[in-house]
Amino acid sequence: MTVIVDQPEFGIEVDRKSEGLILDGGFAVPIANAFGHEFRDYEAESERQEGVEIFYKNSHINQTYDFVKRMREEYMKLDKVKMSIWECCELLNNVVDESDPDLDEPQIEHLLQTAEAIRKDYPDEDWLHLTALVHDLGKVLLLPEFGELPQWAVVGDTNPVGCAFNESIVHHKYFKENPDYNNPDYNSEFGVYEKGCGLNNVSMSWGHDDYMYLVAKENKSTLPSAGLFIIRYHSFYALHRSGAYKHLMNEEDKENLKWLEIFNKYDLYSKSKVRVDVEKVKPYYLSLIEKYFPTKLKW
Ligand SMILES: [Fe+2]
Ligand SMILES: [Fe+2]
């Protein structure tokens, strides 16, 4: 079913020449991504397909329990840069995410597209608008002043380390070359964890999600727990798409997961040819930043 969206609000302009929109549970979604393929179609004949597979090979081989531990210790120091959230949004414009088969435009557009789409449907949840704006800011890890980490240590889907890699994870076969795959401490269903221990106690593969969570938490952001959860687990597709690893969740995780599932639709489907007037929406987001974050943050 093809549906044309009505007059857009909040500075969103729909490119009328772009693909039609389909309805997914009442949510208008574009049929195709920026390359004209279905979303998250890793098998599609895309110029990027091969690059994305090589990306996941590197990621799955190198993201070990020990690697994640070292990265967390290093970036927990927050001794790299001091800047505001909005300054970071502008900085992120220099970054292209190689792992993403859908997106081929400056990151600030994606952040604002996601935030504005949510704002339209959930006007009263201002924390959710801001969560959308900041959710990908951790991608600055790719930049020299943040250590210039390789793409596989910054972007792409995330998964727990320290327990078995679930079969639902994209390009799972490459985990066979990860040293943890044959380590009996780390390769059972629970590994180093216990049933219902809570995701807060589970180490995730290192990337922009966990980094931005650390930045928000350590700088004492007043975002609600669901906002911090979305930032931290938005790339955890094995959980929010495939339902894997639920045995590690506690009650609070289950509540927060409901918001993540809502958020994820917007994160995914806003990566299309929808333009946002940055200057028009900027004052609103500056007011939210002031409400939920200190003026200068340590990164
Ligand atoms: Fe992300
Ligand atoms: Fe995103």
Tell me, what's the pLDDT at 31? 41
| Segment 57-65 mean pLDDT | 98
**Would you say residue 42 has pLDDT above 80?**
no
Question: Model confidence at 41, in pLDDT bands (50, 70, 90)?
Answer: low
Ligand 1 center to 80 CA (angstroms) = 21
> Would the annotation count 171 as a binding residue?
no
Tell me, what's the pLDDT at 39? 57
Tell me, what's the pLDDT at 108? 83
Ligand 1 center to 208 CA (angstroms) = 7
Q: Which residue has the tokens 């390359």?
A: 35
| Segment 247-266 mean pLDDT | 97
Instruction: Give the Cβ contact number of residue 165 at 10 Å.
Output: 23
**Would you say residue 19 has pLDDT above 70?**
no
> Would the annotation count 84 as a binding residue?
no
Contact between residue 218 and residue 191 where contact means Cβ atoms under 8 Å apart: no
Ligand 2 center to 181 CA (angstroms) = 29
Tell me the C-alpha distance between 136 and 147, whole Å.
17
**Poorest-confidence range of 46-55, 110-119, 208-217?**
46-55
Tell me, what's the pLDDT at 105? 67
Query: What percentage of the chain has pLDDT greater than the value 90?
Result: 72
> Would the annotation count 121 as a binding residue?
no
> Would the annotation count 11 as a binding residue?
no
> Would the annotation count 97 as a binding residue?
yes
Q: What is the pLDDT of residues 163-172, one digit of tens each?
A: 999 999 999 9
> Would the annotation count 234 as a binding residue?
yes
Tell me the C-alpha distance between 117 and 131, whole Å.
13
> Would the annotation count 24 as a binding residue?
no
Ligand in closest contact with the CA of 234: 1
Tell me, what's the pLDDT at 55? 94
| Segment 98-121 mean pLDDT | 81
Tell me, what's the pLDDT at 144? 94
Indicate yes or no: pTM above 0.75.
Answer: yes
**Would you say residue 175 has pLDDT above 60?**
yes
Ligand in closest contact with the CA of 237: 1
Ligand in closest contact with the CA of 139: 1
β-bridge pairing 27-30 and 82-83: unpaired
Tell me, what's the pLDDT at 38? 59
- Better-scored residue on pLDDT, 272 or 187: 187
- β-partners of residue 29 are 22
- SS3 at position 234: coil
Tell me, what's the pLDDT at 46? 63
Q: What is the pLDDT of residues 131-141, one digit of tens each?
A: 999 999 999 99
Contact between residue 245 and residue 233 where contact means Cβ atoms under 8 Å apart: no
- SS3 at position 54: helix
The overall average pLDDT reported for the chain is 85
Q: Which two tokens stand for residue 50?
A: 């091969």
Q: What is the pLDDT of residues 63-82, one digit of tens each?
A: 999 999 999 999 999 999 99
